[in-house]
Amino acid sequence: MTFVIETRGLTKTYGSVRALDGLSLSIPRGGVYGVLGPNGAGKSTLFRILLGLIRPTAGEAVVMGGAVGDVAASRRMGSMIETPRFPPFMTARQVLGWLSAAHGLKADAARVSGWLERVGLAEAADRKVRGFSVGMLQRLGVAAALITEPELVILDEPTSGMDPPGIQEMRALIRSLAERDGITVILASHQLLEVQRVCDRVAILNRGRLVREGAVSELTSSGERLRLSVTPISKTLEVLAALSYASGSLDGDAVVATLSRPETPALLRALVEAGVDIDEARWVGADLEAVFMTETGSVQMPESIHAG
């Protein structure tokens, strides 16, 4: 497996605050990779270091096979971090022409028009950026990250400020970048449902450290539970407490049992023998939000997480 980004012991301190605390992370080439974490987890600091905007206090990072600051390697990467800003007197088309020039490319009208089309800005191509909404700036930011046709693109909150159809379009675009164009996409978002839908793998950061990393399917399947709609609930909980292979807890008007799948018939039999009426028994996977909450130990979810 080849990696587009590798960090080892990456640390960044701002005074007494450790924004990154010995982060070691390897991001494989291909697919869409999500970087998750609550506010202050270190996501933006990580991206800023990878882009060479700031220097780490300790540790090292390798991007596209070169050290951070290696321009030849950095030129194979595109990025959009935080809310994108552009010179207000330029049109969207001119912004892409300008960034093409910065990259040593000629302002190829077809390429510029193609990316404006793909991000949904074809009709606004010749409008000045100063009149753009936040959602339009996000779209232009994504086009700006992609205009040089990089092998790796980092997108920080790409759907921020977009309406639901826009979010859906962006999700489709991100998947197509990975699947059609073969671009490795690294995505940071608070929209956990979006991340779950679009990412192949995720890393969860908390307080500057990596707390969990893996394929989305692995992370969610590892949290599978058996959801039981039963009567009476108290009897069900008693049965579960007495079993060695299972445990249970109350979740609203249902009981959630933790056990391995092969033990399911035995559990159901035990419940029936104890006189419990079972209306429904259904395996449910943990969603990414549950994994995120568990791993980050968040007591209160940020509002943006609820929105996802």
Partner 1 sequence: MLADAIRSETYRFTRNRMAVFWSILFVPVLFLAIGTAVQFFTKARMAEMAEALPPEMTAEGGPMALSGTLDLGQSLLAQAGDFANPIVMLFVLIGAAIIYAGDYRWETWRLTSARNTRINLVAGKVALVFGVVLVALATWLVFGLIGELIKAAIFERPLAFSFADERPGQFAGLIAVTVTRVMQFTMVGLLAAVMSRSLLAALFVPMVVAIGQFFLMQALPLLAWSAGDLQAHLLIPGLSHDSLKTLVQGGPDAAAAPDGLAWKAITGLTVWTIVPLVAALAWFSRQDLSKE
Token pair of 84 as six digits? 């994108």
Q: Which is nearer to partner 1, 80 or 276 (CB)?
A: 80
- The binder of partner 1 chosen from 39, 58, 103, 172 (CB under 8 A): 103
Does 87 interact with partner 1 (rule: CB under 8 A)? yes
- The binder of partner 1 chosen from 1, 89, 131, 180 (CB under 8 A): 89
Does 90 interact with partner 1 (rule: CB under 8 A)? yes
Does 104 interact with partner 1 (rule: CB under 8 A)? yes
Does 250 interact with partner 1 (rule: CB under 8 A)? no
Which one-letter DSSP state was computed for residue 299? S
Does 144 interact with partner 1 (rule: CB under 8 A)? yes
Does 98 interact with partner 1 (rule: CB under 8 A)? yes
Does 130 interact with partner 1 (rule: CB under 8 A)? no
Backbone angles phi, psi at 155, to 5 degrees: -120, 120
Choose one: 21-29, 69-77, 180-188, 270-278; the region binding partner 1 (CB under 8 A). 69-77
Does 13 interact with partner 1 (rule: CB under 8 A)? no
Omega cis (within 30) before 88? no
Q: What pairs with residue 205 in β-bridges?
A: 210
Determine the Cα angle at 32 with ends 29 and 36, to 5°. 110
Q: Which is nearer to partner 1, 7 or 220 (CB)?
A: 7
The rounded distance, in Å, linking the Cα atoms of 35 and 81 is: 13
Does 53 interact with partner 1 (rule: CB under 8 A)? yes
Choose one: 31-39, 43-51, 110-118, 222-230; the region binding partner 1 (CB under 8 A). 43-51
Q: Which is nearer to partner 1, 88 or 302 (CB)?
A: 88
Choose one: 21-29, 91-99, 162-170, 222-230; the region binding partner 1 (CB under 8 A). 91-99
Does 58 interact with partner 1 (rule: CB under 8 A)? no
Residues that bind partner 1 (CB under 8 A): 44, 48, 51-55, 71, 74-75, 77, 79, 81-82, 84-90, 94, 97-99, 101-104, 107, 144, 148
